Structure 1
Amino acid sequence: MPATPDAVQRRTVLIIATLAAFLTPFMGSAVNIALPSIAAEFTLDAVSLSFVASSYLLGTAMFIVPFGRFADIYGRKLVFTLGVVVFTASALLSALATSGLALILFRFIEGMGSAMIYGTGVAMITSVFPPEERGRALGINVTAVYIGLSIGPFLGGYLTEFLTWRSIFLTNIPLGIYIIYQIRRHLAEEWADARGERFDIIGSVFYSAMLLAVMYGFSKLPEPGGIAAIIAGVVLAGVFYAWETRTPDPVLDIPLLASNRAFALSNLAALINYGATFAVGFLLSLYLQVVRGLDPGTAGLVLITQPVVQALFATPAGKLSDRVEPQYVASAGMALTTLGLALLTFLAPETPIPQIIASLVLFGFGFALFSSPNTNAVMTSVDRSLYGVASGMLATMRTTGMMFSLGVVTVIFAVLIGTTQIGAAVQAPFMTSLQVAFTVFTILCALGIPASLARGRVRG
């Protein structure tokens, strides 16, 4: 059993994990605002353009749980450090990409680095902070995520406008190097509460292949190949389940999902919430630039509204969940998020910008109330030897939800727009796509409210 961490160690872990938590969403939100410019340079159609965003999420989703388990056994600091190195190197490669295909590949590798960070950062914080301080610490970490999301559209828009989209990737490199320096200089402690257990390589391969097949299938719907890939993913899921329930040291503790109601339903709530919300930034970025004719910088100023509100309220929401059961705080957030999505279903080419901003304020406030308390619920509901797996599982639900969200949009684009570059010529079907997507997401988010409420208490 490791010694109780002192205040200096807790602060160091929080700073390092929080800086990394800023880095990954900053990249994602900044790239979203640059998508029209990337599409123009590489002549990407609507479906191919979605791969620039979804390849990163696929790389993250495929490896989060395996890396989380690997970190529990061999060291969370080790995997976290490798993640920052891979993320930083792939950012440089993305900046140097010479084709759309190369950029998609480098974004996938970037997602692998992000998986190492996501699967360990929250687990490291949970390892050093006692339960009575955990919600506040996790709230600070989540706030950093939202600050990254806030600055991303704003800075990404102006970087794209004045220095091209490639500069977005270059801005991440100095911060990545700084994080690595801080780890090497100030963080001597290592956390491996499952040290000595066997790493489940076979289960990890099945898990990654399952997600790859399902996510690829979503991106190819409604083509026959997409349906076949999803069927293959379902078959692999069955094989994965059979293997995991028989191996002594599984990469994913399946019985934990069956026996731990709070853990299972908190993860389900995260899956639904991110599945219903992630594509909003992607869609509004295209809407503001293609339909409303805003430049990237101005579009970024509009989109900054949601994450700024999230950043302001994420830490207070986390602290509130230290005193009030997370199920109530998170469920209220889910309800407000549903209302924000419902307002976006009325989006039209002439919708006033202040009305869009008001919807994003409500949307951001609801998301802040949901995210920190839900993370607190997940991490509080498991033993410390499972922190890496729990962190990885939650991040997998989040990332899989993001992939599903983009998958829904990809299917809608494929059916209503086809393989045509998004522009003024396809404005009518694009607006129809927006309304269909926001309607689907509103219904999905509403279904998540009872799942969030049903998790029960996470404290004795």
Structure 2
Amino acid sequence: MLLATILGSGMAMLDSTVVNVALPSIGADLDADVAGLQWTANGYLLTLSALILLGGSLGDRLGRRRVFVVGTVWFAAASLLCGLAPSVWTLVAARMLQGVGGALLTPGSLAIISAAFAPSDRGRAIGAWSGLMGIFGAAGPFVGGWLISAFSWRWAFLVNVPVALAVVVVTLRHVPESRGAVGAHDGPGRDPGEDADDGPWHGLDVAGAALAAAALGLVSWALVTWPERGAGGAVLVAGLAGLAAGAAFVVVERRVDHPMVPMSLFSGRAFSATNATTFLVYAGLGGMFFLLVLTLQVVAGFSPLAAGAALLPVTLIMLVLSPRMGGLVARTGPRLPMVVGPLVAAAGAALTSRLGADAQYLRDVVPPIAVFGLGMAVTVAPLTTTVLAAAPDRYAGVASGINNAVARAGGLLTVAALPLVVGLTGDAYRDPALLLPAFRTGLLLCAALLAAGAVVSAVALPRNGSGPAS
């Protein structure tokens, strides 16, 4: 079960980071400007963030194993399209399809583990899952760099096809089916704990999914397009429409009978605070990964393989420490690791901002990246354990989906906004003299986001247990 869920979710996690290493090669091969590169990264995050909530809900209703397998097959087919894309905008469209598959398979993995393991073992199982997810994310640039150097950037996507086949075989043979309570919801017409048999397809929150996609898509488009078109006209209209769609999403979720996001979950202090920390931490992580691997290649002259290897310290540290962090919350409460971890990661990001054209791997790259990896290892497993413990079991898939959506939305909006904030537009990323100061400013901003995550945890997170929301 752990093999199937880790390998499947890891495939989706790896593809959210591997593309960063491939961006310079994609830009050169497909003649893309910085907006095309932003959308290559963000097209995937957009559909993943917007639909992962619906994916968790579908798994609870239709069967978590079934939706997990469908998502894996969908992801493999979209990966094949990415590998064959003849232009940057065809690639962006295929990446958006990849995100749909990721939205179906990612929340199911945690929900499968949560439903199958006894409470006494769940923390360690989630710790193993979280640690290996972090490893997949950190290994993505290294694996992508090797594939790009040895073959082509296209193989960074094509490699998903055989991996997905293995996931499907293991899942069908070894993973039991599980479901949430069909019909349980937080709508105005029924008590939140009532489990009426409405049928698995009754009341799917299509309006909520559409509004979430519109909010993220319109705000991201406005941020990416702003440097080229200015803040007025269509950009202003799109930004305001995106904010309005976000507000409408909250209103709809409070009123519909079968909300995609049960708002009662946010009445729990631990659930709300953990998701706020998640947004800030993954915003800093997403921005750092986007700029770092690009800068190492363009400014410091690293090959794609060497640039990907720059994140190996994160992989090794998370491999050693993350499985041990899963049970830490039970001993210390969630606040301590979720304050210390983001602060340490922020220090690593700030130190990494000092890299320059003469950067050497062992002397300049490894020490700050190791500090960053230590902070993430302390943070990730307690964060995931806390957010699941704060939700009732019947909402395991939805809670996982919410937390994943928050994490991806943080990375999505940061990647969309950072080039605008640091003045990186058009083809500027190809000029080391323009990219280096933008990189340094961007990483300091990422460090500030990580530190803000620590502040939120210190102020809002309960000191001790994180019992489920009622």
Q: Same fold (TM over 0.5)?
A: yes
- Tell me the equivalent position of 1:4: none
Aligned position for 1:409: 418
C-alpha separation in 2, matches of 1:247 and 1:28:
32
Distance 2:390 2:76 in 1: 33
Structure 2 counterpart of 1:412, which letter?
Answer: V
Q: Describe the shift of the 1:234–1:417 C-alpha distance in structure 2 as closer, same or farther (beyond 3 A).
A: closer
The equivalent of 1:286 in structure 2 is 294
Instruction: Deviation per CA, 1:216-246: give whole Å up to 9, x if none.
Output: 2232235333332221111112222222222
Kindly indicate whether residue 394 of structure 2 is the aligned counterpart of residue 385 of structure 1. Answer: yes
Contact 2:330–2:465 (Cα < 8 Å) also in 1: no
Aligned to 2:219: 214
Name the CA distance, whole Å, in 1 between partners of 2:425 and 2:247: 33
**Structure 1 position 458, deviation (Å):** 3.2
Deviations 1:72-107 (A, max 9, x none): 222212211111011111111111111111111101
Instruction: After superposition, give the CA deviation of every residue in 1:25-75 in whole Å (9 maximum; x if it has no partner).
Output: 222332221211111100111221121111111110110111212222222
Q: Matched residues in 1 for 2:384 and 2:235: separation?
A: 33
Match for residue 371 of structure 1 among 368, 377, 380: 380
The alpha-carbon distance between structure 1 residues 203 and 418, as it changes in their structure 2 partners (threshold 3 A), is closer
Give me the whole-angstrom Cα distance separating, in 2, the residues matched to 1:444 and 1:149: 19
Q: 2:42 aligns with which of 35, 49, 54?
A: 54
| Aligned residues of 1:61 and 1:400 also touching (Cα < 8 A) | yes
2:330 to 322, 327, 335: 322
Residue 271, structure 1, aligned to residue 279, structure 2: yes
Q: Deviations over 1:340-398 (max 9, x none)?
A: 12212333323443222111000011011111101100000111111111000000111
Aligned to 1:458: 465
In structure 2, what is the equivalent of residue 438 of structure 1? 443
By how many angstroms is 1:146 displaced? 2.5
CA distance in 1, matches of 2:394, 2:213: 23
1:400 deviates by 0.4
Q: 1:61 and 1:192 mapped to 2: Cα distance?
A: 21
Aligned-residue Cα RMSD (Å) equals 1.8
The alpha carbon displacement at 1:321 in A equals 2.4
Q: Supply the distance in 2 between the matched residues of 1:157 and 1:164 (Cα, whole angstroms).
A: 9
* 2:317 pairs with one of 301, 309, 317: 309
Partner Cα distance (1:443, 1:154) in 2: 26
Q: 1: distance between equivalents of 2:13 and 2:258? A: 32
Q: Residue 322 and residue 293 in structure 1: after superposition, are their counterparts in 2 closer, same or farther (change >3 A)?
A: same
Residue aligned with 1:165, SS: coil
Distance 1:459 1:61, change over 3 A: closer
For residues 170-221 of structure 1, what are the alpha-carbon distances to aligned partners after superposition, in whole Å with 9 as ceiling and x for unaligned?
Answer: 2111110111112222334232323535322222222222222222223223
* Cross-structure match for 2:123: 135
Kindly indicate whether the alpha-carbon contact (under 8 Å) linking 2:23 and 2:37 is maintained by their aligned counterparts in 1: yes
Equivalent in the alignment of 2:162 = 174
Q: 1:131 to 1:357 in 2, by over 3 A?
A: same
What is the alpha-carbon distance in structure 2 between the residues aligned to residue 387 and residue 154 of structure 1? 32
The structure 2 residue matched to 1:199, chosen from 195, 204, 221, is 204
Q: Distance in 2 between matches of 1:174 and 1:322?
A: 38
Q: Give deviations 1:276-320, integer Å, cap 9, x for gaps.
A: 121222211111111111211122222222233223211111132
Which residue is equivalent to 1:67?
55
Note closer, same or farther for the CA distance 1:186–1:306 as it changes in structure 2 (3 Å cut).
closer
| Inter-partner Cα distance in structure 2 for 1:188 and 1:134 | 16
Structure 2: any 5+ residue segments left out of the alignment? Answer: 184-196
Higher mean C-alpha displacement, 271-280 vs 244-253: 244-253
Is this contact kept in 2: 1:193–1:384, CA < 8 A?
no
Structure 1 SS opposite 2:327: helix
1:233 corresponds to: 242
In 2, the alpha carbon distance for the partners of 1:341 and 1:306 equals 12
Which of 125, 133, 140 pairs up with 2:113?
125
Tell me, yes or no, if the aligned pair for 2:208 and 2:259 is still in contact at 8 Å: yes
Contact 1:134/1:322 (CA < 8 Å) preserved in 2? no
1:15–1:332 Cα change, 3 Å: same
Output the CA distance in 1 between the equivalents of 2:99 and 2:48.
Answer: 4
| 3-state SS of paired residue (2:149) | helix
CA contact (8 A) 1:90 1:106 kept: yes
Supply the AA of the counterpart residue of 2:405. Answer: T
TM-score by length of 2: 0.90
- 1:449 is matched with 454
Quote the offset at 1:152 in angstroms.
2.3
Alignment of 1:3-82 (within 5 A): 12=1, 14-82=2-70
Query: 1:450: how far off?
Result: 2.1
Cα distance between partner residues in 2 of 1:317 and 1:366: 12
Alpha-carbon shift at residue 421 of structure 1 (Å): 5.3
Q: Which letter maps to 2:461?
A: R
CA deviations 1:406-427 (Å, max 9, x no partner) are: 12323136xx24212532xx22
- 1:138 and 1:436 map into 2 onto residues whose CA distance is 35
Gaps of 5+ in 1: 1-11
Aligned residue for 2:344?
336
Equivalent pair of 2:21/2:144 in contact (CA under 8 Å): yes
AA aligned to 2:407 is R
SS of 2:310's equivalent?
helix
Q: Is the 8 A contact 2:270 2:466 kept in 1?
A: no
The correspondence of residues 418-437 of structure 1 with structure 2, limited to 5 A, is 418-420=425-427, 422-423=429-430, 426-437=431-442
TM-score (normalised: structure 1): 0.92
